[in-house]
Structure formats: C-alpha cells, structure tokens
Amino acid sequence: MNATAIAYEQLIDRFIGWAHTDGNLRAAGIVGSRARADHPADEWSDLDVLLVATDPQPYCARFDWLHQIGAHWLTFVEPTADGMRTERRVLFEGGLDVDFIPCSVADVLTMVEHGFPAEVAEMIHRGVRFLLDKDGIAARLNQARIAPPPLLPPSEAEFLNVVNDFWYHSVWTGKHLRRGELWWGKSACDDYLKQLLRQMLEWHARARRGEEVDVWARGRFLEEWVDHRALESLPRLFAHYDEADVWRALRETMALFRWVAAETAEVLRYSYPVPGQERATELVERMFFGRSHSQDPASLDQAT
C-alpha cells in the first residue's frame, strides 16, 4: 500500500470514529473507485463517501463537523451529478480529496422499495464498501440486489432532439463568433457542443457494439470504449482562446458529429434530418468565409 492509500485509510478510520458519535448519521459507505474492483483507485483517485442520515441537511449547511475528521484546506458544496441533491467536497490536509454525499434514510428506504434512479443504481452496482450501519440499512441495500441500468438505445425522439440541438447550436456558436463574443463562442464550442457529441459517441458505441461495451457515465474512460476513428479526431476538436482556432475547432466538431450521428441513425434505423444538417452547415460555412467583412446576422438567415 502506497503512502497516499495509507493516508486515505487513516482518514477513513478517523471518519468512522467520528461517525459512531453522531446520532444523526445512521449509515455510511464508500462508493466510486475506492470501492470498485473494475478500474479501482489509483494514487489520483478521490474518496466518495455516502452519508445516510435522519436529516442530511447539516452536512451541507455547515462544515464544523469536518474538524472531527481532520484539518482541511478547502470545502464547498455543489449539486450531485444527477442534480437530485447537494454534496460537500473537501480538500483535506495533504491534498486528500473527499466527496461527502448526504441523503436521508427515508429516501434510501424508498429507493430500496420502489427502485433506484439510473445514476444511483450504477454507482451502487459498481461497488459499495460500508463503513457504518447502525440500523441494518446496508443489509437492506444488499438484499435489494441492485442491477445496473439497462443499456437501452435512445428513442428516436431522444436521438433527433440531440441531433437538432447540436446543429442549432452550431449555428448559434458561429453567430456569437461573428458578433465578436469569443468567450461565448468558445464556451459553446468546447463545452455545450462537446457534451452533445459525447452523448452521441455513447449511443454510437452502444449501437455498433451492443451490450458488451461499458460506456460508464459522463465520458469516464472514454478512450477505452469510443470508436477508434473518433478517438483519432479528438485532439483536433478543442480550441485555444483565439477566434480563428475556435472556428477551426467548431468545424472539426461538426465534421465528427456528422458521421457519428449518421452511422448511429443507420444502425438504429432512425430517420435523420439531413436537410436541416445541410442548411446549418451551409450557414456556418457562410459565416466562416464571410468573417472578413461585416454582415448582418439577420441577412444570413434570410439568405438561407
């Protein structure tokens, strides 16, 4: 066990010691890489701790309880990945990164009885290491035998919504670049459009390779499951804070999305809005090649 792993285990021991004294906290378990057998933790992994409490609110509303676990440098709260609750993130002394995810006993028991949201089911299915169980909640979770969410393809409506969203915002990005709003243009190109592209890459991988491919969540380990042709394109898809480079990255992103989405539609036997794609591409190209002289965006719309 390396020094980082030892430091985390010592922090876990301090957490357990404190947790037994907190009457509000009823159960706690490690999730994520430090509880997984597949892609287990390395020296750069954080520690994700699920807190099951009668009242989860105090763990995000206050942070004085952290002093019982160890000295910390930074702490803040943010929404969980599924947007359903709030979590507290902490950088403890020595750079130990811990994510505390509070939830109520009532919510956990309701999920045990009626089913878990997809993100929660995936997290628990990949592994939980219980640290504390005062009321048998861990046993209830184990008995539930939580299955991973099924790898279902998107519906045709979901697929078309992402496709249309991508091409709409490709035009939107070009308009902001033409207006001189580089921050907005770059953010749209390298954030919003990339999230839509990532979703399409996941659907593409599942469509072509079936249930054997594990695409994880939100792009985790993407280099392992994405189509090799797409992987070769990725270094060209992100831009410097430079107008010409954002235009280049935008057009490269559009080119990759174009064939990935078309192949996905073909495999799934879904319709594809080719005319809309062509018109959006045409408009972006006209904005790109016309950027050396001023032109009213409204006239560009009318011209198409």
Note the pLDDT tens digit of each residue in 99-109.
Answer: 999 999 998 88
12 or 293, higher pLDDT: 12
Residue 2 has pLDDT above 80, yes or no: yes
pLDDT at residue 146, as a whole number:
66
For 149, counting Cβ atoms within 10 Å of its Cβ (0-12 exposed, 13-18 middle, 19+ buried), the class is middle
Whether the Cβ atoms of residue 1 and residue 109 lie closer than 8 Å to each other: no
Provide CB contacts within 8 A for 104, sequence distance 6+.
52, 53, 54, 55, 56
Across 49-61, average pLDDT:
96
What is the share, in percent, of the chain residues with pLDDT greater than 70? 91
pLDDT at residue 148, as a whole number:
66
Across 18-25, average pLDDT:
96
| In the chain, domain spans | 3-144, 156-303
Residue 58 has pLDDT above 50, yes or no: yes
Angle of helix 274-289 relative to helix 156-179, nearest 10 degrees, comes to 10
Confidence band of 19 (pLDDT split at 50, 70, 90):
very high
Question: Looking at the domain 3-144, which fold is it?
Answer: Beta Polymerase; domain 2 (3.30.460)
| pLDDT tens-digit map of 121-169 | 777 777 788 999 999 988 887 766 666 666 788 999 999 999 999 999 9
Provide CB contacts within 8 A for 185, sequence distance 6+.
173, 174, 176, 177, 243, 246, 250
pLDDT at residue 210, as a whole number:
79
pLDDT at residue 269, as a whole number:
97
Task: Point out which residues pair with 187 in neighbouring strands.
Answer: none
Q: Alpha-carbon Rg of the chain, whole angstroms? A: 23
- pTM for this predicted structure: 0.79
pLDDT at residue 120, as a whole number:
75
Across 184-188, average pLDDT:
97
Across 168-175, average pLDDT:
97
Provide CATH code, domain 156-303. 1.20.120.330
